[in-house]
Amino acid sequence: MQTIDNLATDLNEYLEPEQVEQVVRAYHFAKDAHKGQTRKSGEPYINHPLAVAQILSGMHMDHQCLMAALLHDVIEDTGVPKHLLSVEFDQEVAELVDGVSKLKSMFHSRAEAQAENFQKMALAMAKDIRVILVKLADRLHNMRTLGHLDSERRRRIAKETLEIYAPIALRLGMNAIRIEFEELGFKALYPLRSSMIEKAVRRARGNRKEVVTNIRQSIVSCLEREAIPATVIGREKHLYSIYDKMRLKRRSFAEIMDVYAFRIIVSDVDTCYRTLGAVHNLYKPVAGRFKDYVAIPKANGYQSLHTTLFGMHGLPIEIQIRTNDMEMVANNGIAGHWLYKSNDASVSGSHRRAREWMQGLLELQQSAGNSLEFIENVKIDLFPDEVYIFTPIGEIYELPNGSTPIDFAYAVHTDIGNSCIACRIDRRLAPLSAVLESGQTVEIVTAKDALPNPAWLSFAVTGKARASIRNALKHQHQHESVELGRRLLERTIQALNKTLDDIDQQALKEVLSQKHLTSFDGLLAEIGLGNQMSNVIARKLIKDHNWIKDTELSYHGPLAITGTEGLVVTYAKCCRPIAGDPIIGHISAGRGIVIHVETCGNMHEIRDKGDEIMTVRWEPDVDQEFAVELRVELEHEKGMIAMLASTITSAAANIERISLLEKDAHLASVNIVMTVKDRVHLARVIRKIRHIHNINKIIRLKG
C-alpha cells in the first residue's frame, strides 16, 4: 500500500527538501480533516488523495500541485473553508483546491449540476492549467477503484469519463492517461463487449506473433543498412480503439486486426525524414495515407510522421516515426514539461496550444447562454481529428473535421465571423456551408454592416462559432425588440397627444419592479417581443390622463413596416405577404409582430384567441425581398420546367423551391416559391410566365 513515506522518497528525487516537507505537511492536514471518513471500499479516505498525489508525482509535478492533490477534497467533504487553506499554506494552493472542488449549490437536474461543475473547473484551469492535471489524476484513481460502486453509478461515471475526461486528456496530449481512461471506461460501461474483444485479441495475438517478429526484424535490418540508430516497437491496439473503429467505420474485428502497427523512435527531426525514406524503400507506401504532424503538429502539440505501407504478402503496416522528445510529449503531453507562468518566454508548442484552447474556453463561457450550452460547445471542441486551413498570407488554423468557412472566419476573429458575407476557397467563390479540407486556402469577404445569419447554426461546427453566432443573434434580437417596443409604445402614447418624455418616472419604477425588469430598455424589449401589451403599459406610465376605452382610442395611423425590422417582425407563411399587399398584424408572445395579408383565413382564429390585432401599412420605399408562392398549371412537355425557371430568373426573381405535381400524361401543376420585391415585381413575373406557350393557369397561393 502507498504511504506518505514512499511518496516523500519519490519526491526527493526531483524536489527540494523544504518543498517535500510542505507536501508532507499538506498530507497530515488532509489526514486530520478526513479523520473518520472512509471510501466505499472501507479503506480510510486519505488513501484516495495520496494515490492522486502519487499519480502526479509520476509526472514530476511541482510541490504546489501535489499539495493541491492531497487537499483537493477538504473544501468539499470536510467543511474546511478556502481562506483557511490560504492561511495554512498559500493563496496559490487554495485557488488550485477551489478550482478542483465541486459546486455545492442545488440545481434543477443532474445534467445542469454536472455542467456547472465542469464550467467552474474549466474557468479555474484557464487561469492555472494544474487544476485540470489534478482533476485528471483524481478521475484516474476513481476509475481504477470503480468496482466498489453500484452498477448505475459505475455506468454514469464511465460515460462521463469517455465523453469529457478522455477527450480532454487527448486535447492536452496526455495519451497514456487517455488510453487508461478509455480502457477502464469501456470495461465499466460495456463489460460484455470489452470481455469479448479482449478474448478475441488474446487469440489473435498468438497467431500474429510470428508475423510481427518478421516485420519488425525486416524494419530493424533496413535501418541498420542505412546506418540509422533507432528503436522499433510493435504497437498494440487497445480494446476501446478496436471497438470504436468497428462501430464508427463499420469494420469487422478481422479487418482491424489485419493491420500491423509499429513505432520507430529516433534521435532528431532530420533522422525522422531519413527513416521515412528508408521504410518507403523497404515497402511500397499506400497513396494518400502519409501525414506529416512534425511540420504541422496537431492541436495538442502531438508530433510524428504517419505512413501506411504494403508489407510482405500485401499486409498493411502502419508506421509512426518520432523523436524521443516527441514520444515523451505524445505520452505525457502538457505534463511532460510543465510551465505555468503566462509571461514565460520559453513556453513550448503544446503549452501554447493548450493555453489558446483554454483562453477559448473563457470566451465560450462569456458568450454561452447557460452552463449546458457551454458544455455542449466544449464537447464539440474536443474533436480528435483536425483539418489544417491556410489564410491568404500563409498562416495555419487548426479546425475540427467537418468545419466550414464560417468556423474558419470565427477562428480568425469574432468580428470577422460576425461581418462575413462570402468566401473564396483556393481563390474561387464558394458557399459558406462548404466543408473544408486540409491544405485549402480560405479568404473571408466581409461587409461593414453585415450581421450573422441564423441559418449558419445549421452548419457551423466549432463551439466558438456556434456560441458567437448565438450571442450576436441574441444582441441583434434584443436591439430590434427595443426599437420595435419603442415604436409601439410611442404610437399608443401619441394617441393621447403625449410623448415618451411625459412618462411618470415613479410609475416607471413601479412597473419595472412589478415586471422584475431592471431598465426601461428591458421594458421596451418585452413590448417589442409581444410579452407585454403597449396599451396596458401606457396606462400605467401616463398617470395624469383619464384613459378612454381601447375601442375608442384613435391611434395615430397604422404602424409603418419598412422590411428591415429583422428578427422581431415575421411574415406569415400561410399567406406570404409582400410589399404592396393590404396587410394586418398581430402581436405574438415571444415573436413580436406577425404580418398577414388582410384576407388571410387564419386571422379569424387569431382574433378568437384574443391576440392583440394592430393596423399596419408598408413604407413607400421598402427595400426587401419577400417569398411568394405560385401554382402554375401547364401542358406537360419536354423542357417546360427549364423554360419556366429561365423565364422567372430573367425577370430578376430568385427561385427558392420548385416542385412538380404530376396530374396526368398531358397536364401538370408546378408549385414555385420565389422571392420578389413587391406586388409590381410579382405582376411583371406573372406577365412573363403567361407569354410561355402551353401555360393554362397561374394562381398565387395565400393559404
Pairing of strands 569-571, 592-597: parallel
Which amino acid, 38? T
Per-residue cell: 477: 434580437
Residue 427 Ramachandran class (φ > 0 left, ψ -120 to 50 alpha, else beta): left
Pairing of strands 695-701, 626-635: antiparallel
- Cα of 130 vs its chain's centroid, Å: 24
H or E element, residue 57: helix 47-58
Q: Is 76 a catalytic residue?
A: yes
From CA 528, how far away is CA 537, in angstroms rounded? 12
From CA 175, how far away is CA 178, in angstroms rounded? 5
Q: Is 619 a catalytic residue?
A: no
Per-residue cell: 502: 411625459
From CA 319, how far away is CA 279, in angstroms rounded? 9
Contacts of residue 31, defined as CB under 8 A and 6 or more positions apart, other chains included, come to 46
From CA 240, how far away is CA 263, in angstroms rounded? 20
Q: Which of 10, 21, 62, 76 is catalytic?
A: 76
Residue 497 Ramachandran class (φ > 0 left, ψ -120 to 50 alpha, else beta): left
Q: What's the burial of 75, exposed, middle or buried (CB within 10 Å: 0-12/13-18/19+)?
A: buried
H-type helices in 451-531, by residue range? 463-494, 505-514, 520-528
Which amino acid, 541? L
Three-state SS for 519? Answer: coil
Three-state SS for 329? Answer: helix
Contacts of residue 701, defined as CB under 8 A and 6 or more positions apart, other chains included, come to 576, 629, 630, 631, 671
From CA 244, how far away is CA 37, in angstroms rounded? 39
- Cα of 310 vs its chain's centroid, Å: 38
Contact 519, 486 (CB under 8 A): no
Q: What's the burial of 327, exposed, middle or buried (CB within 10 Å: 0-12/13-18/19+)?
A: buried
Virtual CA dihedral for 488, 493, 497, 498, nearest 10 degrees? -120
H-type helices in 368-422, by residue range? 371-381, 405-412, 414-418
Contact 408, 397 (CB under 8 A): yes
Which residues pair with residue 561 across a beta bridge? 618
Closest CA to 630 of 655, 602, 595: 655
Q: Which of 10, 21, 62, 77 is catalytic?
A: 77
Residue 449: other Cβ atoms inside 10 A = 6
Contacts of residue 515, defined as CB under 8 A and 6 or more positions apart, other chains included, come to 523, 526, 532
- What does the DSSP 8-state code read for residue 146? G
From CA 163, how far away is CA 169, in angstroms rounded? 11
- What does the DSSP 8-state code read for residue 115? H
From CA 444, how far away is CA 406, in angstroms rounded? 9
Q: How long a stretch of residues is the chain? A: 703
The cell 426599437 sits on which residue? 483
CA atoms within 13 A on the CB side of 538: 27
- Cα of 640 vs its chain's centroid, Å: 46
Per-residue cell: 468: 458567437
Residues assigned a catalytic role: 76-77
